[in-house]
Amino acid sequence: MNNLLSILLQAPAPQGGGNMLIWLILIFVVMWILMIRPQQKQAKKEREFRAGLKKGDRVSFSGGIYGKVHEVAEHTVDVEISNGVVVTVEKSMVQPLPQQQTETKK
């Protein structure tokens, strides 16, 4: 019995480090494909939309107000929300109309 115990204690420990590394890489790749990549695509589409804003475009605000672009500056957009009522907002607050989003997905 004592000999068996000494043999077991001297046996090398199993090496599983390489297998664990493969699993970590696989998990990272799956997370990138399912989460990070779609988020990057959506952010790119939003940047392109805001860069392409021009006078007369119909837009909405993140708060649900609809309007028509009156003037575009570097960081702001003047939007006419009613006849003669023009508000200045940051470009990051402007979104395409919901119909425009569904049309671009088709």
Same-domain pairing of 42 and 88: no
Same-domain pairing of 45 and 78: no
Rounded Cα gap, residues 47 and 18, in angstroms: 41
Same-domain pairing of 65 and 76: yes
Predicted TM-score of the model (pTM): 0.61
Q: Over the stretch 51-97, which tens digit does the pLDDT of each residue have?
A: 999 999 999 987 889 999 999 998 999 999 999 999 999 998 888 88
Do 93 and 69 form a contact (C-beta atoms < 8 A)?
A: no
Residue 95: which residues within 8 A CB-CB, separation 6 or more? 46, 49, 59, 60, 61, 62
The yes-or-no verdict on residue 20 having pLDDT over 60 is yes
Domains held by the chain: number = 2
* 9 found inside a domain: no
Domain housing 31: 17-51
Q: Where does a domain end: 51, 69, 95?
A: 51
